[in-house]
Amino acid sequence: MISEKVQKAINDQINAELWSAYMYLSMSAYFQNEGFAGFANWMRIQFEEEKMHALKFFDYVNERGGKIELQPIDKVPHTWKDAADAFRETYKHEQVVTALIYGVMDVAIAEKDYATQSFLKWFIDEQVEEEASASDILTRIEMINGNGNGLFMLDRELLTRTLDPIE
């Protein structure tokens, strides 16, 4: 059985993951409207990944005999200055998500919930990848420095990203 404190922390994390999904879908729409199909694709894949993360937490609570308490999802931003601005926000957001997951881990440790600690290891490892990916693209955008040809090439590259199912 899952403790009330761990259950609440994970329910809060489900909300954060769904908010993240909405933000990335909003970014996808922004990039689509700006004519960057590759950037839009990358963000849409992020949207799908965040939904899968939320569902992974959702299923875990149910498997442990807990109760899901879905919460309202706050409004997400819908405009950015440019690609660099959007990816700066993406990178910062992934750092926030990492901190949130660490917070859930802190609760699991305090509650001596070893099963949840084991479960969260996947998310901790995933966040290393998420931060690195966002940071890499941001660095490349900053190197391009607004050059249309460079943005065009990066956009084409990002169009090839596909969704990898989670374990």
Give pLDDT tens digits for 105-155.
999 999 999 999 999 999 999 999 999 999 999 999 999 988 889 999 999
Q: Dump pLDDT digits (tens) for 12-46.
A: 999 999 999 999 999 999 999 999 999 999 999 99
pTM for the whole structure: 0.94
Domain boundaries, the chain: 4-158
> What is the C-alpha to C-alpha distance for residues 57 and 146, in angstroms, rounded to an integer?
39
Half-sphere exposure of 49 (CA within 13 A, CB side): 18
Four-residue CA torsion sign, 139, 76, 105, 1: negative
What are phi and psi for residue 95, nearest 5 degrees?
-65, -40
Residue 167 has pLDDT above 70, yes or no: no
**CATH number for region 4-158:** 1.20.1260.10
Q: Crossing angle, helix 114-144 and helix 83-110, to 10 degrees? A: 160
pLDDT reported for residue 165: 79
Three-state DSSP class for residue 128: helix
Question: In this structure, what token pair is assigned to residue 51?
Answer: 């939904």
Are the CB atoms for 100 and 13 separated by under 8 Å? Answer: yes
